[in-house]
Amino acid sequence: MIPLSASAVGKQYRSRWAVRDCTFALPEGKVIALVGPNGAGKSTLLRMAAGLVRPTAGELRVFGTPVRGGTHPDVSFLAQDRPLYGHLTVREMVRVAAGMNDRWSAERVQEVLGLQAGVDQDAKIRTLSAGTRTQVAIALALGRLPRLLLLDEPLADLDPLARDETLRIIMAEVADRGTTVVMSSHLLADLREVCDHLLLVDDGRVQVDGDIEEVLARHRILVGPAADESAVEGTLVSATRTQRQATLLLKDSGPAPQGWSDAEPDLESLVMGYLRASRARTSAPRR
Amino acid sequence: MLIDVIEFRIDRHSGVSTYMQIVHQVEQAMRLGLLAPGDRLPSAREVVDATAVNPNTVLKAYRELEREGLVEGRRGLGTFVTKSLASEATAGDDAPLRKELARWMKLAREGGLVVEDVDALYSAVREEHYPVEERS
Amino acid sequence: MIWASFRLQRVQLLTLLGVLVVGGGALVLLRSSMVGAITSARLTECVERGGTACASVDQNAFLDDWSNLFQVARILIIVLPILIGVFVGAPLFAQELEHGTHVLAFTQSVSRTRWMLSKLVVALVPALVVVAVLQYLVWWWLTAAGTLGPRINGAWHPVNFGIDHVSPVAYTLFAFAVGAFVGVVARRTLVAMTAAFGVFVVARFALDGQVNRFVTPERRVAADGLTVDMRDGALSVGRGWLDAAGLEVPWDRAVSVSDACRTTSSAATQGQEEFLACMRESGLENRYSLVLPESSTWIAHLYDAAIFGGFAVLLLAGTVWALRRQS
C-alpha cells in the first residue's frame, strides 16, 4: 500500500501558492528525503500530509485514505520546532501524550528514551539540550506506533553528535518496524547518506521524485566545447557556461559526442542543477 | 559470537555510496578469510546501531551480494556466507604471498621509505601488472 | 486527556483553590466576628430596614470598623471575573498557539473538539465554582450586616447589583470567553489578556443599568402630594404629575404649570402647601414616581445573565470554530 500520495495538490496562502500541482506516490518502507531550499513548500507539504493544513486544490492520501482535517492513525508528525510543554517533566510529558492517544506503546517510548545516553525523565523539558529534546519528541512520535513517520527538519539546530544519534534512532525504527520515513531538510548533506528516495521541491513544485540510485543513473554531466552544444542529445536540465566550455546536466542523454567528457553526477550536483533550473524559471518574467 | 565477525566502517566523505562500501567490505573480508562459509552477516539493525546508516541500504547491499552468489538470506535467521573467496594465497597470516609482501615492507621501512613512498611504489607496480582496462 | 488538561492548568487551578480556601475562610471568620460585634454593640435592630434609633455613636463605631472590609469583599466579587478572564481564559489556547504545542495535540488521535472541550471544562468549571462560592459567602455576610452594611443603598445600586444573584457568574463566563476567543484569533497571550481586560471593562460600563429597562416599573404616588417614599430600596426611573382623575399629565405642561406657580408666589416666603395649592388649581393633583421595586431585581439579573451569557456562548462557539480551522 502506498504510504503517501498526492494528486495535483496545491496550497494557496493569500495570493501566494506555497505548493503547486504536486503529484507523487512514495514507496513503502523507504527513507525519503524531502529536500528543497527554505520556503520551497516542504513544511506545507508535510503539514498537509499530517492533516494540519487543508490543501486548496487536489488531494493527499495516506495508506489509501484521503487526508481530511485530522492525522491518520498510522501517521506520526514531528513539527520543526519540536513542540513540547516546556514546564512539564519528561515523565509528565509522556503521560500527557499517552492520554491523547488511543493506540500507545509505553514500552516503545521507554525504549527510545533509553537509547543513546538515556533521557533523565525527571528533568523539565525546557532544561533539555536540543538533541535530547528531539529524542523526547521522536519517542512520543514513535509511541503512536506509526507506519509513516513525517519529520520536518529533524536535524536542524543539532550539533554533529546529536545529529548522528537522532539519525541512529530513526534508522533503528526503520530496521525494527519497517516504518516509512519522510524527512525534510534544506541541507542535502544531512540526508544524503541515509535516504533511499529523493523528493526535491522548489518553488512549490516537485522537481525530482525517485529512487536516488535510479535518478542518478538516468542523469549525466557532460563537459565540452560551448560552440558544439547542439551535438548533445537528451533533456537539458541546466547548464553552466564559460566562453569556451559548457557543463551540462542532462536527463536520459544519448552517448557523449566526440570531444565531450561524460560522467554520472553525484547527488549534490544533480540537486544543484535542478535548483538552478528552477531559479532560472522563477526569475524569468512570467507571460 | 557470530555477531562480531565483521564490523562495517562507513566513510561518509569518500564519495563512494554506502551500499558499495558495504559490498566491498564484505568481499574484502571474504578474500582475507575473515568471513568463511556459514558465517552470519550482521543484521541490518546491528549495522544501524554501529554506524547509523539506512537499514534499507544494508539490505540492498546484501541483496547485491546474494545476486553475486556470495551469501544467502535465510528467512528469520539472517544472511549467511555461502562461498569462500579466500585462497591459499590471500587467507591467513602465513599465506606465502603475504609473507613475501611483509618481507618487502620490512625492507622498505629499513630503507627509510615513508608511507607515501610505499603507497606510490605499490600503486605504480600495480598499474604495470594490472592495467586499468583489464580490471572489471 | 483529562489528566493532561489538569496538569496543564495546574498553576491556575492551584491559584483558584488558594483563593477559594483563603477567601472563603476569611469571609466565614469575618461574618461570625461581625455578628458578634453587632450583638455586643446592641445594634441587632438596625440590621432590619426601618429599624429605629440607629443613628448612634455605636453605629458609627461599627461602620468605622467594618465598612472598609465590606468594600474589599465587594471589590473582590467585582474584580474576580476580570482576573479569571485575564489569567485563565486568555492563556488557555493562546499559550498553546504561541508555543506551537497545539500542533502536538492536533496530531494525536484525540479529536480537536474533544481536546478543546476538555481544556475548556477543566479551566472554566472550577473558575465558575470559585466565583459562585465566594459570591455566595459575600452575600451571606452582607445579608447578616443588613442595612448596617452596603445593603442600605438597595439592591439596585450598581455595585450591589453587580455582586448579586447570577450576574457575577455570567460576567466571569463572559470575561473568560473574551480571553479565550481573542487568544485563538490573535495567537498571542499578552494580546488576549489585554483584550479580556479591556473588552470586559468596556462592556460592563456600557451595559451597566441597561437591563433595568426590561423590568416593568410601578407607579408610586406621593403620600403628601410632593415626596415619594423611596426608603425601601426601590429605584426611581421617572417622575411626573397626576391630575385629579389619576392620569399622568404631559411633562411639558407639568413643567410650565410648576414654573408659573413658582414665579407667581413671591419666592422664599412661599411654603410647600401654597405651591401645592397652586398646582392643584391647575389640575395637577399629585406627584408620582416610576420605580423599580427592590423585589424585582431578579428579573434584571436574569436579563443581565442572558446578555453576558449569550455573548459568552457566541464567543466560545467562535473559539471552537476558529480552533477547528487552525493549522
**Each residue of C203-256: pLDDT tens digit?**
999 988 888 888 888 888 887 767 777 777 888 888 888 887 778 888 888 888
Q: How many CB atoms lie within 10 A of CB C219?
A: 15
pLDDT for res A142 = 95
Same domain, C288 and C301: no
Position A264 confidence tier, pLDDT thresholds 50, 70, 90: confident
Cα(C38)–Cα(C53) distance, rounded to whole angstroms? Answer: 15
Laid out side by side, the sheet with A65-66 consists of A16-26, A4-13, A57-62, A65-66
Residue C183 and residue C257 in one domain: no
Q: How far apart are CA B80 and CA B73, in angstroms?
A: 6
- For residue C301, the model assigns a pLDDT of 92
Q: Within a domain: residue C213?
A: no
Residues C194 and C314 in one domain: yes
Range of the domain at C230: 218-292
B-A interface (Cβ pairs under 8 Å ≥ 3): yes
- Which pLDDT score, from 0 to 100, does residue C153 have? 83
Q: How many domains does chain C have?
A: 2
A57 vs A286, which has greater pLDDT? A57
The residue in chain B having the minimum alpha-carbon distance to the alpha carbon of residue A167 is B52
| Co-location of C97 and C246 in the same domain | no
Q: What is the pLDDT of residue B89?
A: 65
Q: Which residues contact B74 (CB under 8 A, 6 or more apart)?
A: B80
Residue C21 lies in a domain: yes
Query: Does B38 touch chain A if contact means CB atoms closer than 8 Å?
Result: no
Determine the longest span between alpha carbons in chain B, in angstroms: 54
Which region among A26-40, B71-85, C164-178, C268-282 has the lowest average model confidence (pLDDT)?
C268-282
Chains that touch C (3 or more CB pairs under 8 A): A
Q: What is the mean pLDDT of residues C262-283?
A: 70
pLDDT band at C182 (very low <50, low <70, confident <90, very high): very high
Sequence-ordered list of residues with C-beta below 8 angstroms from that of C213, at least 6 positions apart, any chain = none
Is B92 a residue whose pLDDT tops 70? no
Q: Are residues C70 and C143 in the same domain?
A: yes
Nearest beta carbon to residue C109 from set A54, A81, A100: A100
Distance from CA of A12 to the nearest CA of B (A): 35
CA A68 and chain centroid, separation: 22
What mean pLDDT do residues C91-117 have?
93
Q: In the prediction, which pLDDT does A287 show? A: 44
- The CA distance from B90 to B99, in Å, is 10
| A2-11, A142-151, C269-278: the lowest-pLDDT one | C269-278
Answer whether B touches C (≥3 Cβ pairs < 8 Å). Answer: no
User: Is the pLDDT at A146 greater than 80, yes or no?
Assistant: yes
The pLDDT of residue A144 is 94
pLDDT at position C54: 66
Report if residue C53 sits inside a domain. Answer: no
Closest C-alpha among C243, C8, C286, C274 to residue C122? C8
Residues C181 and C168: their CA atoms lie apart, in Å, by 20
Decide if B57 touches A, using CB distance below 8 A. yes
Asked whether residue C75 falls in the same domain as residue C203, the answer is yes
- Residue C199 belongs to some domain of the structure: yes
Same domain, C95 and C237: no
* Phi, psi dihedrals of residue C238, rounded to the nearest 5°: 175, 160
Contact: A171, B10; criterion CB under 8 Å: no
Same structural domain for residues C266 and C248? yes
Q: Which residue has the higher pLDDT, B133 or A258?
A: A258
Determine whether the interchain pair A79/C104 forms a contact, defined as Cβ–Cβ distance below 8 Å. yes
C97 and C165 part of one domain: yes
Interface-testing mutation among C95, C106, C326, with chain A (most A C-beta atoms within 10 A): C106
Please determine, for residue C49, whether its predicted confidence score (pLDDT) is greater than 70. no
pLDDT at B15 over 80: no
Instruction: Please give the helix or strand (H or E) that residue C127 lies within, else none.
Output: helix C112-145
Query: What is the predicted pLDDT for the residue at C59?
Result: 79
Residues C8 and C138 in one domain: yes
Q: Is residue B5 pLDDT above 70, yes or no?
A: no
Of C90, C173, C89, nearest to C131 (Cα)?
Answer: C173
What is the rounded average pLDDT of the residues A144-157? Answer: 93
Q: Do C145 and C233 have their domain in common?
A: no
| DSSP letter assigned to residue B17 | -
Query: Percent of chain B scored above 70 by pLDDT?
Result: 87
C176 and C133 in a common domain:
yes
pLDDT at C224: 73
**Chains in touch with A (≥3 Cβ pairs < 8 A):** B, C
Least confident of A231-245, B3-17, B78-92: B3-17
Asked if residue B135 has pLDDT above 70, the reply is no
How large is the ipTM?
0.86
Picking from C4, C100, C102, the nearest residue to A96 by CB comes out as C4
- Return the half-sphere exposure (C-beta side, CA atoms, 13 A cut-off) of residue B83: 14
Mean pLDDT (chain A, rounded): 89
Stretch C101-124: mean pLDDT, rounded? 92
Q: Which residues of A touch C324 (CB under 8 A)?
A: 69
pLDDT tier at C84, thresholds 50, 70, 90? very high
Query: Given this model, what pLDDT does residue B1 score?
Result: 39
